[in-house]
């Protein structure tokens, strides 16, 4: 019987009562996991000396700038002259004997995590984006005695060595330290489970479970793995199986495997995110020494080597989505505690799904683990990008952290692409590091090596066709442009040659960012990107509409060519701050909602049954006959059939309209040819191609034209 009492007594003026955990019988399931989240004491100081007073408090998980009272100027870009470290402190007690295995898991913290228990150093973890595990063996006190836990993090990335990746981002002003993910205490018997990997076999309707189990400490000991799979919502048993018995040697760690057939197997998709739980137990003799429950989905994902299309559960599945830049949002003035509020995160993901987005890249920063759990539940495919942009650290350190990252995420059905880096073409370290670890993922997910060399024909290559970086670019230039991005209009050093014959995903494009208040961001101002789009001295609403209309048209263009595995706009969540280079398009951050023009036009551009009016001219002559191709694409697994309408109107009325019936095969593309005589009315007119979408709502493609 193990009873955990958690307390936290602040010195000076503060007294905070935290979590109380009732008695837990460890022998029943072999493992007790105790969350240590809550309000901790926090103090600033040096890297080596424990502060004498803890006169502040801060939430865990959270960031050090959330402390009360507040510290001055938290989150410098370089070394912080005011402090070298932040120290977190709390106490807890165990009523009863200490189990054989006791570990502390710090899910994510930065910059550098050092842990002390009862005055003893338990070691250090340098990773800023991966979990640190600390063995409490011999240092943890039972019998109701108080245990003092200290966690020190560096106040700036300079607390780390030059060989450690720390999340460099050219746009960020602040690098805010803190314990920004969960902290938990794990108690179990021995043998114990170090890690579980669940490998869905979709065609076989069965799941392979591989557990890394530690040596019980004696030659000749036997143990087996028992796995029960249940439906996550109902608890209904879907399958159970035992592994063979494993004979141990002293000091040995083994992988034990078991295959579990699933009754009435249901697959995981964004449209139906059905989840299972695998309860994995180590049985030594008649005793369960450790047990771990892992959630998963029956899902496969790959890129077809011939068609280059993404394949979800063996069927084509085009990626439509956005980017989430959590580290940039960390420095947003409206951030508060939102990234750690489950209801807020879920509302944001649902707002994304409401834009017809089925995917997102977690870009230049990993969010807390609850974001991945919610993506599993809400049905969002994740391209998980390790936070490397230029600064990679050493090959040894990067390889180690890639492995830690994969072990933490590989059971999430939402995570479908390992992304090694962002826009870093000149170094081969990321390629070598991913090549060294990719075999660890038994589901064999594809990788994206940013702008680096590809490692496999079925890996994906990302390109960022920011056409409006060229101040002379006009939307009319899209006429006749290849639907597979080339090197024009991009950042220098985006070598499409590295793509080879691999699938391509456009996961950044646009460039015309505006702040949430309707003012342009610094990049489109610096590059004069709006000079052909708006008149002098435009209003905030004119900026908003021009941004949304232009982004929608570009989205239609990249999707309609069917040369890309996915199109993901930049960005769904970032910062919006004075002097910011980019911004998201939220109009309401507290109750996540998009700016109305963005929601109106961009949502249509990402519709599963999409339409593009392939007409880019800025003007035409009245009375002329225009040939107007309308491209219809179908991302669905079923054929689409319906009317396609084309009309031209001015501010007062519809001037001409025509309709054709169309049928588009599943995952297909059709071009509907229209001929329209321009009415004898001069002035500004609007061309609209429209069809009923998969949900019955109208989907439109708009072009404005001046009739001369």
Domains annotated for the chain, with CATH where assigned, are 3-188 (2.60.120.260), 193-296 (2.60.40.10), 301-606 (3.20.20.80), 611-707 (2.60.40.10)
d(CA 468, CA 308): 27
Of all helices (H) and strands (E), which one includes residue 330? helix 326-330
Number of Cα atoms under 13 Å in the Cβ half of residue 467: 20
- Core vs surface per residue 533-550: b (16+ CB within 10 A) or e: beeeebeeebbbbbbbbb
d(CA 665, CA 316): 13
Residue 478: DSSP 8-state? G
Asked if 146 and 93 touch (Cβ cutoff 8 Å), the reply is: yes
* Phi, psi dihedral angles at 454 (to 5 degrees): -75, 155
**pLDDT value at position 4?**
46
d(CA 545, CA 171): 25
- Extract the residue ranges of the chain whose pLDDT is less than 50: 1-28, 489
Helices (H) and strands (E) in the chain, counts: 9, 40
Q: What is the DSSP string of 426-462?
A: S--HHHHHHHHHGGG-TT---EE-TTS--SSTTSBEE
Residue 50: DSSP 8-state? P
DSSP helix, strand, coil percent of the chain (3-state; round to 5): 15, 35, 45
**pLDDT value at position 217?**
67
d(CA 344, CA 22): 29
């Amino acid at each position: 019987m193990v009873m955990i009492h958690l307390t936290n007594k602040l010195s000076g003026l503060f007294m905070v009562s935290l979590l109380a955990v009732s008695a837990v019988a460890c022998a029943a399931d072999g493992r007790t996991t105790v969350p240590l989240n809550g309000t901790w004491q926090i103090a600033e100081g040096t890297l080596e000396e424990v502060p004498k007073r803890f006169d502040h408090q801060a939430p865990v998980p959270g960031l050090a700038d959330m402390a009360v009272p507040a510290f001055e100027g938290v989150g410098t870009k370089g070394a912080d002259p005011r402090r070298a470290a932040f120290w977190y402190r709390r106490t807890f007690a165990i009523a009863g004997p200490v189990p054989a295995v006791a570990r502390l898991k710090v899910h994510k913290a930065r910059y550098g995590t050092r842990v002390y228990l009862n005055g003893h150093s338990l070691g250090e973890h340098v990773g800023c984006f991966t979990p640190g595990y600390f063995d409490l063996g011999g240092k943890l006190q039972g019998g109701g005695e108080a245990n003092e836990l200290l966690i020190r993090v560096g106040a700036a990335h300079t607390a780390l060595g030059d060989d450690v990746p720390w999340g460099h981002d050219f746009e960020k002003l602040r690098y805010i330290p803190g314990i920004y993910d969960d902290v938990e205490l794990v108690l179990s018997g021995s043998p114990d489970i170090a890690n579980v990997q669940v490998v869905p076999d979709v065609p076989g309707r069965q799941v392979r479970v591989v557990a890394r189990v530690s040596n019980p400490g004696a030659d000749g000991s036997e143990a087996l793995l028992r796995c029960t799979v249940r439906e996550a919502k109902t608890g209904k048993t879907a399958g159970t199986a035992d592994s063979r018995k494993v004979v141990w040697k002293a000091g040995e760690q083994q992988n034990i495997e078991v295959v579990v057939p699933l009754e009435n197997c249901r697959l995981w998709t964004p449209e139906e995110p059905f989840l299972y739980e695998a309860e994995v137990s180590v049985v030594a003799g008649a005793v369960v020494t450790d047990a771990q429950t892992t959630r998963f989905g029956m899902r496969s994902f790959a890129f077809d080597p011939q068609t280059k299309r993404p394949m979800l559960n063996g069927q084509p599945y085009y990626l439509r989505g956005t980017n989430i830049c959590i580290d940039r949002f960390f420095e947003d003035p409206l951030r508060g505690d939102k990234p750690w509020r489950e209801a807020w995160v879920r509302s944001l993901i649902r707002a994304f799904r409401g834009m017809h987005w089925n995917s997102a890249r977690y870009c230049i920063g990993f969010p807390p683990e609850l974001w991945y759990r919610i993506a599993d539940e809400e049905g969002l495919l994740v391209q998980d990008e390790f936070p490397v942009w230029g600064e990679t650290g050493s090959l040894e350190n990067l390889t180690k952290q890639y492995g830690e990252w994969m072990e933490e995420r590989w059971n999430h059905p939402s995570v479908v692409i390992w992304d090694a880096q962002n826009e870093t073409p000149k170094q081969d370290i990321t390629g070598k590091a991913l090549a060294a670890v990719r075999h660890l993922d038994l589901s064999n997910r594809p990788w994206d090596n940013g702008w680096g060399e590809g490692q496999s024909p079925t890996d994906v290559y990302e390109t960022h066709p920011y056409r409006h970086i060229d101040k002379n670019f006009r939307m009319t230039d899209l006429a006749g442009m290849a639907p597979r991005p080339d090197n024009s209009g991009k950042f220098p050093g985006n070598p499409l040659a590295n793509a080879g014959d691999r699938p391509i995903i456009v996961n950044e494009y646009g460039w015309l960012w505006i702040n949430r208040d309707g003012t342009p961001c610094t990049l489109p101002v610096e590059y004069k990107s709006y000079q052909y789009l708006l008149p002098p001295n435009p209003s905030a609403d004119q900026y908003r509409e021009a941004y949304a209309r232009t982004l929608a048209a570009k989205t239609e263009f990249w999707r309609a060519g069917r040369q890309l595995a996915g199109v993901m706009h930049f960005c769904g969540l970032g910062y919006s701050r004075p002097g910011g280079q980019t911004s998201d398009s939220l109009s309401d951050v507290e109750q996540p909602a998009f700016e109305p023009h963005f929601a109106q036009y961009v949502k249509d551009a990402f519709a599963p049954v999409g339409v593009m009016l392939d007409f880019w001219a800025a003007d035409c002559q009245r009375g002329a006959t225009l040939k107007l191709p309308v491209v219809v694409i179908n991302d669905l697994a079923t054929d689409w059939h319906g009317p396609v309408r084309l009309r031209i109107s001015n501010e007062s009325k519809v001037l001409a309209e025509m309709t054709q019936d169309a049928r588009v095969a599943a995952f297909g593309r059709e071009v509907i040819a229209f001929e329209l005589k321009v009415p004898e009315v001069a002035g500004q007119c609007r061309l609209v191609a429209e069809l009923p979408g998969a949900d019955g709502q109208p989907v439109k493609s708009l072009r404005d034209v001046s009739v001369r």
